[in-house]
Amino acid sequence: MNTQEKQKERPDGSTTYNRPEIRKLVLTHFSNLYAATTREPQSRYNHPDEPEILQHEVEHAIVTSKTNISPGPDQITMLQLKLGIESIAPHLTAALNQVLTNGRTPEDWKTVKISLLPKTTKPKKVKDYRPVALSSIVSKLFTKILTRRITAKSEDYLEESQAGFRRGRGCADNIQVVAQMWEKCTEFKIPLVAVFLDFTCAFDNVNWTRYPKS
């Protein structure tokens, strides 16, 4: 883990320069932050097995990935995969299908290098940093393939009003809709109620064990 700073503030407000203690503070903070706080609901549906990963999906994931992606602890780079794509793709496809079938994450995928990027100009506490995980390039290809599948399927279920996190869409469209509603309601003296919700660390507390089943 690269803490990048020589000092961190403890929960009690005091400062520590001890590197092992800083590592512990970082680990404790983000372990608590990313812990799911909601109860896992019982699924009422039977989900079909995911179709096997095809070689052209692996090749597409490699070709469309940026070459300068930082490698994980295994030091396998995207450039290596791009240069050896013809010989690597068949073996990589078989390996990823084994992960998909067994549902077991390889141990080297669970090991990452963490870099902390400051979210403020004068960061002191651990919460003032955003963690960036440098994980296995192969694991990124796996998630990229699954993300592409999920994105394609989700379009059939998303509301037209859902603009965020969608390719070719933006929240500017919805802002324009709200502005027009506001203007018309004001013009015709129609009562208008607007509710804005901001969930603190909403994505950090998602129960990720439910995600593959949904």
pLDDT tens digit string along 68-96? Answer: 999 999 999 999 999 999 999 999 999 99
34-38, 44-48, 92-96: least confidently modelled range: 44-48
pLDDT at 34 over 80: no
Side chain identity at 162, as an amino acid letter?
Q
For residues 77 and 180, membership in a common domain is answered with no
Residue 185 neighbours by CB under 8 Å, 6+ apart: 191, 192
- Among 120, 137, 157, the domain boundary falls at 157
Residue 45's pLDDT band (boundaries 50, 70, 90)?
very low
Are the C-beta atoms of residues 77 and 136 closer than 8 Å to each other?
A: no
Rounded CA separation 126/28 (Å): 10
Domain that holds residue 69: 8-157
Residues 144 and 189 in one domain: no
Q: Does residue 24 form part of some domain? A: yes
Indicate whether 60 pLDDT > 70.
Answer: yes
pLDDT of residue 183: 96
In a domain, 3, yes or no: no
pLDDT, position 3:
44
Is the pLDDT at 37 greater than 70, yes or no?
Answer: no
Q: Which residue has the higher pLDDT, 113 or 49?
A: 113
Residues 179 and 112 placed together within one structural domain of the fold:
no
Q: Do 12 and 114 fall within a single domain?
A: yes
Highest mean pLDDT among 6-15, 25-34, 176-185: 176-185
pLDDT given at position 112? 87
Q: Which two tokens stand for residue 45?
A: 């549906």
Residue 36 tokens read as: 């799911």
The reply to whether 184 and 112 lie within a common domain is: no
Rounded average pLDDT over 153-179: 85
Domain C-terminal end among 157, 174, 201: 157
Q: Look at residue 147 and tell me if it is in a domain.
A: yes
Q: Is the pLDDT at 202 greater than 80, yes or no? A: no
Same-domain check for residues 144 and 179: no
Residue 69 lies in a domain: yes
Helix (H) or strand (E) holding 92: helix 85-102
- Chain-wide mean pLDDT for the chain? 85
Contact assessment for residue 72 and residue 111, using Cβ atoms and an 8 Å cutoff: yes
Under the banding of pLDDT at 50, 70 and 90, the label for residue 10 is confident
1 in a structural domain: no
29 shares its domain with 102: yes
Model confidence pTM above 0.75: no
Tokens 């079938």, located at residue: 101
Q: Using CA of residue 118, residue 120, residue 125, residue 130, what is the dihedral sign? A: negative
58 neighbors 89 (Cβ within 8 angstroms): yes
